[in-house]
Structure 1
Amino acid sequence: MKNIMNRFMDWLSNSFAPTMNRFAQKPWIATLSSAMQKIIPFILTGSIIHLYNVVRSYVPSLPDLSWIIKFSFGMLGLLTAFMVANQAMEKLGHTKYTISAGLTSVCVFIMYIKPVIDTEGMFSVGFNRFGPTGIIVGIVAGYIVSVIFNFVGKRELMSESNLPDFVIGWVQNIVPIFTCIGLSVFIVFKLDIDLFALILQLFSPIQGFGQTLPGFVLLIFLMTFFYTLGISHWLWNGVKTPIFMAGIAANIAAVEAGLPAVNIATNEAVFTAGLITMGGLGATLTLNILMCFSKSKDLKTLGRMTLVPSIFNINEPIMYSAPVVMNPLLMVPTWINSIVGPIVIWISMRGGFLNIPSKMIQVGQIPAPISSIMITEDFRAVFVYIFLFLLYLAIWYPFFKIYEKQKIQEEMLEMKEAINE
């Protein structure tokens, strides 16, 4: 059994992890992860207003700041379109196109959401198409524009011409801009195709699967699995962000219409509540506490040094210093937690034992169970927190004790060597 585990770890560290790191760094893949990171400030801006609205519900005299949500969180689709094309040009080395490709993508996205312009020049379109529901559409628009700009950019049109540089620059921009916009005009207005609805329909199976228990568990497990290999969960932003954003947007709309929230796969349920990610991705808080009382001097010191970040659900210090990353004894319980935690939360919320979040507050550094109560608006979150805390502790304990024994033996050996010297 030990030999099998050793071979498995050798394959993970020397083959699988390096291959995935190279894959994640490929321009077309890195583009999406980078673009999603760039729009996080706009998501957090909307989160701050939702948090403010919680306070405002108790102090009605405070001013209404809902318009800030509409033009931050409510513009995520549009912002995504710009950032995907912008980051693609940066990753592909076409730095002269970063702005023009991004702006072209904005124009294309606006056409994709199928606006109506009447004879008097009045522009009308469903405002919700600009927001989180449109993230997938923004990604598609950004990639299509990027493919065209990349194709033209590689050919360096008129680069050997004797014309002034600014004229050559115009031509090199006009060709891809004209192609992108012309193609979109033909599809949307000439063929009268609602690309927004079509794209959402094509991606609906992915969105739908993400809101099922298997999809929910799989996504969190994958993020955690790769994290234990030293690969940041940001790699999965392009997958989780559209699912999570559409999920919370639908929950907000449902509650405003007097209906119950139904989508559990949201950033709020996974990160903000601090239940699945108690101490950080992989639920490392109880590991941290075990380390604080360890018989190993090294583990005790590390545990106490990293406890405060863990309380605020920041676990990079313990993941890389314990270490959990590439440590088979601690990787396995991390994987188990990433399966058990989502299942418990799914059963709790679907079974009516805990409210499903219906406010967009994506601040994952609020300590649980304070954040758990705040985001679910349900004091029963305390009981769920206690149950999961004990469950995570039971999962970590046997693996930790084996690791602790190894560390104590290493420390004793080092002490003997120091004495002999």
Structure 2
Amino acid sequence: MSTPPLNILISGSGIAGPCLAFWLEKFLPTCQITVLERAPEPRLGGQAVDLRSTSVPIVAKMGLLEKVKEKTTTEVGMQFVYADGETRATFPVSGNVEQQSMTSEYEILRGDLAGIFYGATKDLPNIQYVFDEIVTGIEEQENDKVKVTFKNKLPTAEYDVVIGADGMMSRTRRLVFGHGPKNDDYLYRLGQYSAQFTMPRDPAVDTQYAQWYNAPKGRLFLIRPDQYGTTHAYLGVTDSNLSRFDEIDKLLKEGSREKQQAWFEKEFEGAGFQTERCIREMKKSDEYYMQQIAQVKMDTWVKGHVALVGDAAYCPSPISGVGSSAAIVGAYVLAGELSRSPHDIPSALANYERVARQYVNKAQKLIPGAPQLANPQTAVGVTVFNKVMGVMSHPFALKFGSVLGNWVPAFGSTKIWSPPDYGSA
């Protein structure tokens, strides 16, 4: 039986969407793929992400691993510091892809990784990127098609498959699956909000190490280098008492940058370290992003001829260390299962969920107590945490790291879980 020429719509051009388009084109060369992006051009900004565990061999099969190496951030490890800048614990890169450290062997800016996947797919004849466009309606039809309406330029059309790859706050998810049984958009809140931005590099204080600094009241500075001569900053506020975030949660939904930044400025008052610099540069930064740190938890990611992939379906959160990896693994499995059952889309999507969930269940396992354990509320808690990290940074603790890797994919080998072999690029 010949393979039908499937018409596939992917909403989202970050990491999961282009990666999925790449593998669909390889596995189903007769299909037509449209990738939507709500922004007017490719969104190539963002903070550091990385490749870990199962995603590494998948990107290698794409022939893109060398391009990733060329774009790494140049970060050589992570240091935990006190307010005076004194280093208390150093975790250098391991040099071993099978047992990665806190800094990955493939640490790369989100925009650079998305750009690599976009570059590998944008000129393929059966892949079309459409920018400045969003989906406004998705309706399953009796003819096994999905009717989709759009806001701007595209006419209403029918597709064989619709994929939501549009991030943690997925519009596709809301249109097809609603807001969840608890009206929480399927978000499992982890008690942390973060502001992320880029600022000028200061050679006097910025090194090739990432610098992690904790202040009481669950406040975190994370400052990281890149290969472009700038510094990336992550300001996090953590608390198990979610009522602390009532104001910023409202400001997040309203989208007022100035009011959001005023909230962070107030929260970080008297925090020490590089507070004044970071707050000052945050207000001036051309690249500012603020988000709630959460996981997406759903009983199912598929419905009829519609499926979700990446953060839209199973965001493990940035603190998992494998958000991008989960997106890459999921995209590969989804394309592979569609290629195995192109005549029965619902079965293919069900198989995608069954297979990929084996990895996702591992990816969503956080270190017990995270993120509160790593962001203490008291000065005593900060002191204890720093002492623990000092012990963990000693060479004898590397053995513990290998044990941890068996449980947490971020520190595990490329064989912590292996997908089916659907073929190679």
Range class of TM-score, shorter chain: under 0.3
TM-score relative to the length of structure 1? 0.27
- If each structure's helix is expressed as a fraction of its own residues, which one has the higher value? 1
TM-score relative to the length of structure 2? 0.27
The structure with more radius of gyration:
1
**Higher RCO, 1 vs 2 (CA within 8 Å, ≥6 residues apart):** 2
- If each structure's strand is expressed as a fraction of its own residues, which one has the higher value? 2
